[in-house]
A and B are shown apart, each in its own frame.
Chain A
Amino acid sequence: MRKDRIRIIAAIGIVLVFAGLVSVMHLGSAPDPSASTRFLARDLEETGASNRVAGVYLNYRLFDTLLEVLVFSVAVLGVRHYLQQSEGMELPDLSESEVVRTAVIFLTPLALLLCAFFAILGHISPGGGFAGGVIAASGLLYVAIAYGMRAMEKRLNPARLVRAEEAILLALLAFVLLPMVFGRTPLSDLMPKGTPGQLLSGGSILVYNILIALKVLVGAWAVIAAFAQHRGEL
């Protein structure tokens, strides 16, 4: 059909123009490293976190990270709201499979342990709250696959999960505003900077990592549960 041909030509045209623009860029030359070396020289004393990336997004750019948590929450809200209207089918129960059940028995605790590791040691070793929360949510998904969504719902009541999510969000907000109680500006460090590499270093990064991990865990599980219960015709 004509429309299809126009579409194909337009797509290839766009990509060709794009390739043309890219080809005149200086892709080979390395960017100027002076900014980052200057930054890396100072940031250990300022943040106290030996994971520089965590130092950036949980200290210098904390505001961005909090807003990103907000975006995540809004997406979870949207998914839950819009999927409620669609009819759906439930996740089939694979519990007859011994293989699945055996695998779940050691996979899920591993996933939850990894979540705790990433959340608590996020300022010393790579990971961080986001990855931890997502890993824990997928650990819960293994259990749902093995034992069925109804068993999960009995233990993780959805209404209580919504309230838990709200509570964590409020806790995050409270911790952001807490420094004002002590006469400092919000978002500043409350906890000791310590020596980098220790558990109690990095200021409030530790607390933020834990709170974010919890928030993402509950949020990602809400999304997974919503998709698992409304499987639709797709």
Chain B
Amino acid sequence: MAAVIAFILFGIGILGLVLRRDLVIKLLALGLVNSATILFLVSIGDRPGARAPIQLPGDVAILADPLPHALVLSAIVVNFAILALALVFVMILVERYHTTDSTRIEQEMVRETDEEEKPCS
């Protein structure tokens, strides 16, 4: 069940990444894709009747699998690092082209490279 939701979120994230023009919303969608993947990984470790994997040796209980949690912790932190750096580059781009619209930025860049190719008269 959680895995299905994770895939749905993944799909929403990809659609948002491709279909929205605003650069900032593209970044948010990228973060969503990341979160969806992490949700899927955590949902693998869950089993019926489980408890959190923090337990003293005395108790006996079924514990959730701690391995996905550990992997996912690193994934969350690295995700944040990537998002912060990507946001910085988006800020620099916007400062240069004065718009956050990705299609306009593409047009501007194409225009710039076209001008460069023309020979200087």
A and B touching (C-beta < 8 Å)? yes
Q: Which A positions have Cβ atoms within 8 angstroms of B?
A: 3-4, 7-8, 10-12, 14-15, 18-19, 22, 27, 30-31, 33, 36, 39-40, 44, 50-53, 55-57, 61, 64-65, 68, 71-72, 74-76, 78-79, 82-83, 85-87, 124-126, 128, 130, 196-197, 216, 223, 227, 230, 232-234
CA distance A126 to B11 in the complex (A): 31
Contact present for B18 and A7 (CB under 8 Å): yes
Chain B, residues 44-70, CB within 8 Å of chain A (1/0): the string is 110110001111110000010111011
Q: Which residues of B contact A (CB under 8 A)?
A: 3-4, 7, 10-11, 14-15, 18-19, 24, 44-45, 47-48, 52-57, 63, 65-67, 69-71, 73-74, 76-78, 81-82, 84-85, 87-92, 94-95, 98, 100, 103
Q: B52 contacts A22, CB within 8 Å?
A: no
Partner of A52, one of B3, B66, B92: B66
**Whole-angstrom distance between the alpha carbons of A51 and B55 in the complex?**
7
Nearest chain A CB to B42 CB, angstrom units: 11
Do B11 and A75 touch across chains, with their CB atoms under 8 A apart?
Answer: no
Residue in B18, B44, B87 whose CB lies within 8 Å of A31:
B44
Cβ–Cβ contact A233 & B95, under 8 A = yes
Query: Which residue of A is nearest B106, CB measured?
Result: A3
A–B Cβ pairs within 8 angstroms, 16 of them = A3-B103, A7-B19, A8-B19, A15-B14, A31-B44, A33-B47, A57-B73, A61-B70, A68-B78, A75-B81, A78-B88, A79-B88, A82-B85, A82-B92, A83-B91, A87-B95
Contacts of B4 in A (CB 8 A): 27
Chain A residues near B66 (CB, 8 Å)? 36, 40, 52-53, 55-56
CB–CB B53/A52 < 8 A: yes
Once the chains bind, are A68 and B94 in contact (CB under 8 Å)?
A: no
Give the complex CA separation of A75 and B2 in angstroms: 31
Chain B residue numbers with a CB within 8 Å of A53 are 53-54, 66, 69-70, 73
Q: B10, A65: Cβ atoms under 8 Å?
A: no
Known contacts A51-B54, A56-B66, A234-B94; can you find 4 more A-B pairs with CB under 8 A?
Answer: A7-B19, A11-B15, A18-B14, A75-B84
Is A57's CB under 8 angstroms from B94's CB? no
Q: Given A15-B15, A36-B67, A56-B67, is A71 in contact with B53 using a C-beta cutoff of 8 Å?
A: no
Contact check, A11 vs B18: say whether CB atoms are below 8 A apart: yes
B52 touching A126 by the CB < 8 A rule? yes
| Residues of A contacting B44 in the complex (Cβ-Cβ under 8 angstroms) | 31
Q: Contact at A44–B103, with CB atoms within 8 Å? A: no
Cα A51 to Cα B66 in complex, Å, equals 9
Residue of B15, B74, B81 near A12 (CB, 8 A) is: B15
A216: B residues at CB distance < 8 A: 77
Closest residue of chain A to B81 (Cβ to Cβ) is A75
* A-chain residues with CB within 8 Å of residue B15 when the two chains form the complex: 11-12, 15
- The residues of B that contact A234 with a CB separation of less than 8 Å are 24, 90-91, 94, 100
Contact of B63 among A52, A57, A76 (CB under 8 A): A52
When distances are taken between beta carbons in the complex, the residues of chain B under 8 Å from A223 are 84
Which chain B positions have C-beta within 8 A of A230?
91
| Distance of A120 from chain B, by nearest CB (Å) | 16
